[in-house]
Amino acid sequence: MAGTRGALMGLILVFGTAYGQSAPAAGTRTQPAVSPEGRDSLKITLRMYNYGVARSTLVQAEGKATVILNQAGLETAWVDCPATPAEFKSYPACQRPLSTTDFAVKLVTADEPDRFHSHHEAMGRAMPCTRDQDGCSAYVFYRKVLEVAADGIADKSQVLGHAMVHEIGHLLLGPDSHTASGIMRGRWDKRDLQTIAQGYLAFSERQSEHIREEIRERSAVQQVQLGKAQMQ
Ligand SMILES: [Zn+2]
């Protein structure tokens, strides 16, 4: 399994404007949701394309992200995906067909591509994502994560986990989903980082409801698409 690679050295906390269930298999880590009482359990799968974040950092970041997504009512399965096409065969879980509740999270450790430079302070970018789209994707720029972590308030895995959830939030809530507080705040200040270090920034209840509804709708779309595929 490819996976661990060295992290790079790395306070600017601006996020880019974004646009926009499967059974466990090898390479899949399901962290079961403890469904808040009275809520149904909704599942998403996050396919992780790791271009150089240390394995231990990523696992911790996934743990933090799981807690935040769980709090919003989502059960999350994490799937390792290859960093290069040549490694594809080593990642069987990543070969499953994509669905509308699968999302790709790409951890970029080099400078972000020029096409993303419109917000050069951004820690990530979510690509346009329609409800019937399989495998919507978001990028997290790890160098920016390290810059934020460098001030010593929250560590890199905590910041990374939050940055991943923030971009997933854009995939599910849309591009204009920044709020004055919480995980969808467009700029995290010192107090936010202290919250990140001590616990986590959460989705608001309204955002959580919106997210659950979006996953319900996406699941329904997926069922329709599966039905059509079986009739062909
Ligand atoms: Zn944002």
Residues 86, 20, 72, 152, Cα dihedral to 10°: 70
Over residues 43-81, the pLDDT tens digits come to 999 999 999 999 999 999 999 999 999 999 999 999 999
Tokens of 111: 């400078």
Task: Say how far apart CA 41 and CA 130 lie, in whole Å.
Answer: 22
Q: Residue 169: which of 133, 132, 215, 134 has the closest Cα?
A: 215
Which residues in the chain belong to E strands, given as ranges? 28-31, 42-50, 74-81, 102-108, 124-126, 136-141
Q: What domains does the chain contain, in order, with CATH numbers?
A: 28-231 (3.40.390.10)
Tell the burial category of 97 from Cβ atoms under 10 Å away from its Cβ (0-12, 13-18, 19+): exposed
Percentage of the chain surpassing pLDDT 90? 70
| pLDDT band at residue 110 using 50, 70 and 90 as cut-offs | confident
Cα–ligand 1 centroid distance for 232 (angstroms): 40
Cα–ligand 1 centroid distance for 178 (angstroms): 6
Over residues 137-177, the pLDDT tens digits come to 999 999 999 999 999 999 999 999 999 999 999 999 988 89
What pTM did the predictor assign? 0.82
pLDDT of residue 135: 96
Task: Say how far apart CA 51 and CA 5 lie, in whole Å.
Answer: 8
Q: Note whether 144 and 133 are within 8 A (CB).
A: no
Cα–ligand 1 centroid distance for 179 (angstroms): 9
Query: What's the whole-number mean pLDDT along residues 85-99?
Result: 94
Cα–ligand 1 centroid distance for 58 (angstroms): 20
Tokens of 212: 């659950």
Cα–ligand 1 centroid distance for 121 (angstroms): 11
